[in-house]
Each structure stands twice: as C-alpha cells, then as structure tokens.
Structure 1
Amino acid sequence: MPYEVQGVVALGKGEPVSVETVLVPDPGPGEAVVNVQACGVCHTDLHYREGGINDDFPFLLGHEAAGIVEAVGPGVTTVSPGDYVILNWRAVCGECRACRRGRPWYCFSTHNAAQKMTLADGTPLSPALGIGAFAEKTLVAAGQCTKVDPAAPPAVAGLLGCGIMAGLGAAINTGGVTRGDSVAVIGCGGVGDAAVLGASLAGASKIIAVDIDDRKLEWARGFGATHTVNSAATDPVEAIRELTGGNGADVVIDAVGRPETYKQAFYARDLAGTVVLVGVPTPDMTLELPLLDVFGRGGALKSSWYGDCLPSRDFPMLIDLYLQGRLNLDGFVTETIGLGDVEEAFAKMHRGEVLRSVVVL
C-alpha cells in the first residue's frame, strides 16, 4: 500500500514550485523508504526547476536530507527500520571498473530506486538527484542511506548530503590540502565556505576567501578564512600572489564554475600547485587557455565530483567531528522553514541572503 505524503514539486520549467500529494510505493528489492526530518535548499534544486539539469518534469525536489528509515525491501542488509541516516546521491555499485580499482568515490554506475514515486493521478515524478526529499517520506536505493550518530540534529546532518560535502571534499579529498598549505577559495556561498572549513580542518596555514560580496566574505571568516579579497574591487590573482609571497597558493578552489573564475584560479596558484573545480558550469561554457601555460606551470588541474567523497567513510567521520565541537556545521543553517516556504527560499538564495535554508518536517 503506497504512502500518501506531501512534497514540493516543480511541475514545469520556470514555474513556481507547489506542495502536492505524492504517492510513495512500498520499498522493493534493494530499496528503502525514509521519513525525512530535514532537507536543505540547494542551488541544484533551483537548477532542476529552471530546466538546467534536464526536462524530465515534474520533479520532486530536495536532496540534502537526513531522516529515519521507515521500511526496507527484500535483500537490504545495510540499513534497518529505525536507523538514522543521511541520504547521498552517489550510491556506489561495488562492481564497476572504478570500484574494482579501489576508487569507489569515482563509481561510474551509481544507482537509485527502481520504482517511481508519483503524483496522486499517477504521473511519475523525477526525484532530484535520485532522492526527492522535500517530502515527508521518500523512496531511495538502500545504498543511498548512510547511518550516522543520531545525536546530530537532522537540520545540520542533512547538509552533508550535498553542498557541504562537496566543498569539504574539494579541499581535503580532491585538493589534498594538508598542514601548512596556502589555500584560496573563489566563491563563498555554501560550497565555497565548506571548502574554507575543510582547508581549516586540514591545517592550512593561510586561507584566502574571494568573493564580490562583503557579507559572504564575513561568513567565510567565520569558517576559518585568514584573509579576504573582494574581487569586485581588487584583482584576485594579484591579491592572492601578494598574500603568498608572490608565488600563488598551493591549492586554489573554484567554487563558482565560470570560465573567468577558473582562469583566476589557474593563474593564482603556485607553480606545480593544484586547481580544483567544484563549482558546476553550464553546458554552454567553454574555456580557452594557452597550452604552453598549462604545460609550463605543471601541477594538477582537477574536477571534484561530490567532493570525491565515499559517504560510508566520510559522513560518519564528519558527524563525529561535529559532535566533538571540531566542525562548525551549525554556521551553515541560516534559517529553518516549512515545505510551503521553498519558493521564497529560492529567492533568498538568489539574492545571496542565506547560506542554507533548511526545510524541517
């Protein structure tokens, strides 16, 4: 018997979202139904609403979520009803060539629930990032559920499911930031500030936050930035070089994902330094760089997929650090809201007024 719940749905491209009745089927083999307790409002959800991901409308939005497992389907052994979990959108398969090479964070065959959630009239829904958690319950693949310590509040824990993990992982996993490194982060929204936090956690000696908004730069200081640069008034490449003895930073993270910010990152790194792209470009963007500069500067140019995280490894560890008071996740929660407030949360996000609005159910 399907569960009948309320969820936030994008019915058409560019249309305001609405709260609709959603039918969630009983879990099938390898699936789980989760009672969603909290879900962050991420920019990716807005991309879905605007048709920037694909045209598979209607979408059940929401993906940065934590909750309690309600039921599991046949063959599920990794989670049980009552488990407190963070949802992830890269449930690794364990069988593809990346997994078999011991690099499951690059899994090329991640999976989602096989069944579809639907509107009350039977219209199939496309869940955002295979999750769809702006809803009282959602259906996911069991591998998308990562058990963590239930002492962590869901409004905080759920944020590890996407943006914070992407930024932290870009610094620690992809960028390999370590003790004494100099780090620059371009773009200080939620993902960029998480990269700042990750660099601080890893022991970077100098963390330079770059943005065009002084309010965001102040937020970055709160997560560990030692220096800030307003790139609307100052050339960020020159500023980063000046702050690093004329050399450039060891690791530069582009949390914006535009050609101009990527070029800034490329030229603001030290010789043989590392550039990490974690901001998501749009399909029409192209990049032009002198190939001799790419060759002559050495180092590494990397893209960070979901912070190159392995949820089963990283989520419990980061929650433990939070509970020990060593990881400021609370600072990302600007406000808590209800399901009916998501459209206004998109507007606040677009205006740069919030790091994260979090739907609490």
Structure 2
Amino acid sequence: MSEHSTDPGTNRAPDLGAVENPVAPTTGTIQVERTAAESGRTSRGAGLMSGAVGRNSGLVLALLAICAVGVATAGDRFASIDTMVTILRLASIVGVVSIGMTFVIIGGGIDLSVGAIVALSSVWATTFATQTMAEDTHWIVMVFVALAVGGACGLVNGVLIAYGNVVPFIMTLAMLAAARGLAEIISERRTQIVNVEGFKDFWTADVVGVPLIVVIFALVSVGGWLLLNRTTFGRRTLAVGGSPEAARLAGINVKRHTTMLYVLVGLLCGLAALMFLARTSTGSSTHGTLLELDAIAAVVIGGTLLTGGRGTIVGTVIGVLIFSTLSIVFVLNNQDSSTQAVAKGLIIVVAVLLQQRLARRSTS
C-alpha cells in the first residue's frame, strides 16, 4: 500500500506536508508575482507611450532638432534670451487661435475663417467711432468690440452648421470671404492706427519681463488643457467628435454643443485680434492672412485627428512652437519664404512619421 493512501483505521488523509517539499510552492508563487509585476510595468509603459506622451515624443524630437540646427547655423544669435522671447511672441497669436481650432477639430468640424475673423475684429475695434468711444469712456470698449465681433462670427458659423446643416468646410469658407470683404469695406483697405494710449500701455506691457501676449498664450493654453481634460465640456467635445449619433443617444445636445465650439474659436479669434493690435498698433484687413492654414497644420501635427474624437492641447502648443522656431531659424539664416514653406511641409511629414513609429513600437 502506498504511504499516501488513506488509513482505514482512522479514515484520515495522510499528512502531505510531511512528505512534499514546502519550498516549491513558495518559489513558484514568487516567480509568478515577479512576472506579473514586470508585465504590469510593461503594460503601464506601453499605455503611456501609446497615449499623449507617445504622440508628443515625435514633436519634441522635431522641435529639439530644429533648435539644434538653429544653434549650429546661427550660434549665439539663436541661443539667446531675446531670440526665445521672439519665438514665443511669434507663436502667441497663432497659438491662441490654434487652441480654439483644436476644440473645433476634435468636435468633428473645421474652421477656415479664423484669419478673416481676426482681421474683421481688429478693424472693427480700431474704427474711429470705436476709438472715440474708448477715449471718452475706457479702452476696455475696444476689447469688448473685438471679442463681440469674433464671438458673433463664431455664432453665425455654429448656428448655420449645427442647425442649418451646412457643411463646416463650405460655411467657414463663406465666412472667410464675407468677413475679409467686410473688413476691407469698413477700413476702406487702409491701415487703422491705434490712438488710445491706455490700450497701448496695457497691451504692450511686460509681466516680469515677459510680454503680455506671451502670458496670454500661456494662460489660454492652460485653460484649454483644463477645459478639454477636466470638464464635462471637454468630455462632450470628444464624444461629439467621436460619434455624434452615440453622443446624441447619450443625452448630449449635439447641435448646441457644436454651436458652442464655434463661438469658442470665434472668441479666441477676437482675443488674437487684440494681440495683433498690441504687436503692430494697427487694425488691418490683411491681419491673419493664411492664419487658418498655420493653425490647422499645428493642430494636425500635434496629434489631433481631422476626423475628430481625439486631440491634445499639449501637442498643439508644441506644433505651434515648431513652426515659430523654424521661422526664426530661417530668418537668422537669410532664407526666403519659399524655402521656409518647403521646410514646413517636410516638418509635418517627419513629425507624423515619428508619431506613427513610436505608436507602433509602443503597441508591439
């Protein structure tokens, strides 16, 4: 009889612990736990790289590469505090508009009229009547006019797109033509000078040595990130862009939310117009020319899908910095705008390829 068989006299099972090796199960458990921990760390790392960090890594590498080229070709002229401030000033206006464009594209739309809205807002805020009223009361009148004009244009876009079922591309293209034409009519194609001293003193001031428009860009970026990632508005934007029908069935008023997205980008265009006034002290129908293309390019290479449903504010900010840094590098090296345009196209392709490669590596 085997020593492991049941004792017929006592009908008890034998003591297996006295025979089997008690160390084996413990060693096996430790190995399983170590494997699980390593697998968990790998999964967390893969998830991190496939998320925002992975998508932005290619952009950071592209930005660092451009900075390296700037240092190598322009030396101390590029690697200076003044140049860094110039880059940020150049990025500020495009950056503010790009934040609004990010929300619109994530929500499944697009806005080709942002440059024209900026021009119209700048012209309307610097008309003789507006500036006279500002001098008689307070320069804040000019701020209100610029924001009101931008918000009104965004409202028209949003209502006709959401409730009139006009395709966003067509509606915003029509607004582009109309707003630019109205700006030319109001200004009579003349540059309007800002004469309100209080306005100029405030908007051209520095905050701890940093230009106010750069501070505004930083605040809008932080606010945009919080709005997209920490509020119901941001979650609804992602839902509407991902699947409008599913968002509607979930109880989201898709039409109203779409309208709000276009009003948001319109208000930011009004803010960008004020930043134009601060930088140039003029209102002009030529302000914001091709601004929509720069904004869309920054948003797309920043990782936001043109089909909607996914996007990142951080990526958009890095995309804007890439283009502004590239512009400064070309200026310092006396390169023409045509060469700069070709380089912009190459930067877009390289950044997208790097993002795709990092995403494939993280998933594998």
Question: Which bin holds the TM-score, normalised by the shorter protein?
Answer: under 0.3
Q: Which has the higher contact order (CA 8 A, sep 6+)?
A: 2
| TM-score scaled by length of structure 1 | 0.24
| TM-score scaled by length of structure 2 | 0.24
Which of 1 and 2 has greater Rg? Answer: 2
